[in-house]
Chain A
């Protein structure tokens, strides 16, 4: 039942990989069964440093991406991710598996941290927000293709921002947070079918707007 060290050792730090490689590694890591994850979380709650590090390495990229997509600023996203993990570690010992899994719980905390950050921003608007966090994806290579990709990405994020809040949240939790529809439902307090409907409509709306942009509408 316990998580073996072999399985934990497959979760390599993501440093130095590009986004595609990182994404594939993360997906393969997701093979940890619910029982194994529960055991890992339980041991992390008892202060097992290896398990704490594993949870951080495993979920930090997703939380960071989600925060970045919602905040549009790398510095804020890093801080929110760190805040979320600090809260998780403070409360993980008392976390109980009642319906919602660890990932849903983690992203609920992250979503709250994002809301807090928005509030703080509103109170203190004089903050540097120059680094959107999406500029360096080409690993510093400023080729024409990289610039084009960056521009397209920026346009798409602008379109995402124009979606209704609940539709945008579904897409961000689903594709930045890599949660399932059920997990998104647990984070948002919606039924899985409602999440699937929101997802469908969000993608429909996005596709339509992308078409309009391309045709110059």
Chain B
């Protein structure tokens, strides 16, 4: 019984796929039902939109691929910069020289002698590049120390 059913299922499926027909019997009735179902579901897709959507989707797809490539390039560049900086940072890992402290009773310390060696300079520990404005910072620090120095107890 089960085998007979199984054969009927396969036969119906084959007839559906091949567009075949059969005369009389249950299969003929089922194939007629298939025809009705197909007919009721056969609607054309929205015609005017399809080409436009296809073009838009293709463009979006290409854009996404480009963005992915760009992101990958940025990651690679960032990795190269980090690796390069680590190498340079190790070479210039000496702490930078700050300004000398004012001696007690003196008008104030000397202005700072400038920071590290520009881009290659750094805090010394990790080789992080020093800020390009470190010279300016040291000069200000020197001025501040000068002002502060006049307030020190030694001068009074």
Interface residues in chain A, defined as those with a beta carbon under 8 Å from any beta carbon in chain B: 13-20, 22-23, 44, 46-47, 49, 52-53, 56-57, 60-61, 64-65, 68-69, 74, 78, 81-82, 85-86, 89-90, 93, 133-134, 137, 149, 152-153, 156-157, 160, 171-172, 174-176, 180-181, 193, 196-197, 199-200, 203-204, 206-207, 210
Contacts and interface: CB of A to CB of B under 8 A. Distances in A.
B22 interface: no
21 contacts: A17-B44, A19-B42, A56-B54, A57-B50, A60-B45, A81-B45, A82-B53, A90-B64, A134-B40, A172-B41, A175-B34, A175-B41, A196-B12, A197-B5, A200-B5, A200-B30, A203-B33, A204-B26, A206-B37, A207-B30, A210-B33
Contacts of B40: 134, 152-153, 156-157, 160
Contact of B45 (A47, A61, A210): A61
Given A15-B47, A47-B61, A200 B9 contact: yes
A64 B46 contact: yes
Contacts of A19: 42-44
Contacts of A85: 53, 57
Nearest to A171: B37
A22 B50 CA distance: 14
Contacts of A69: 41
A64 B42 CA distance: 11
A180 B14 CA distance: 10
Q: Is the interface of A mostly helix, strand, loop or mixed?
A: helix
Closest 8 CB pairs between A and B? A15-B47, A61-B45, A196-B9, A19-B42, A56-B54, A153-B40, A52-B58, A64-B45
Given A65-B42, A156-B37, A210-B36, A47 B62 contact: yes
Nearest to A172: B41
Contact of B29 (A14, A47, A193, A207): A207
Given A53-B58, A61-B45, A13 B30 contact: no
B9 A197 contact: yes
Contacts of B65: 46-47, 93
B82 interface: no
A55 B54 CA distance: 9
Interface residues of B, number: 42
Contacts of A17: 44, 47
A133 B43 contact: yes
Contacts of A210: 33, 36
Given A13-B51, A200-B30, 6 more contacts: A14-B50, A19-B42, A23-B38, A156-B36, A207-B29, A210-B33
Contacts of B57: 52, 56, 82, 85-86, 89
Interface in B1-58: 5-6, 8-10, 12-13, 16-17, 26, 29-30, 32-34, 36-51, 53-55, 57-58
Given A52-B61, A85-B57, A196-B13, A23 B50 contact: no
B17 A180 contact: yes
A175 B37 contact: yes
Interface string B56-80: 0111111011000000000000000
Nearest to B53: A82
